Amino acid sequence: MKQLEVQIMGQSYLLGCPDGGDSRLLGAVERVDTAMCKIRDGGKVRARDRIAVLAALNLAFDLTDQNAHQPPTTTSAASALPGQPSEKLGVLLARLDEALNRDDRLL
């Protein structure tokens, strides 16, 4: 596993990246950065931790909404159930919880 240095909302982070996962990780960083900057630029929320949580919720909602509009697949019974979070969403939420627990400032 290699590490990539990225920037989210102007702050640098060194992230672990699985081999061959560069483009996916950079795409995720871009989506998170865009979501957080949009919330920040809206002017109503200033605290970075609140911006991060709102961005995470917005992205999770979008992911859940996308999954709800896709036909069920046979790869994962849990993700095919209506109203149940997909496996990927669960992993993302667990990573967010871990990051928030490590540092109350997240960003």
Q: How many CB atoms lie within 10 A of CB 14?
A: 9
The structure's pTM equals: 0.64
**Of 16, 10, 47, 1, residue with least CA distance to 32:** 10
Confidence of residue 99 (pLDDT cuts 50, 70, 90): low
Q: Give the span between the Cα atoms of 89 and 74, in whole angstroms.
A: 17
| Bridge partners, residue 17, by sequence | 2
Q: Give the span between the Cα atoms of 49 and 4, in whole angstroms.
A: 22
pLDDT digits (tens, 9 = 90+) for 47-92: 999 999 999 999 999 988 777 777 655 444 444 444 455 677 777 7
Confidence of residue 31 (pLDDT cuts 50, 70, 90): very high
Q: How far is CA 70 from CA 27, 77, 81, in A?
A: 21, 14, 11
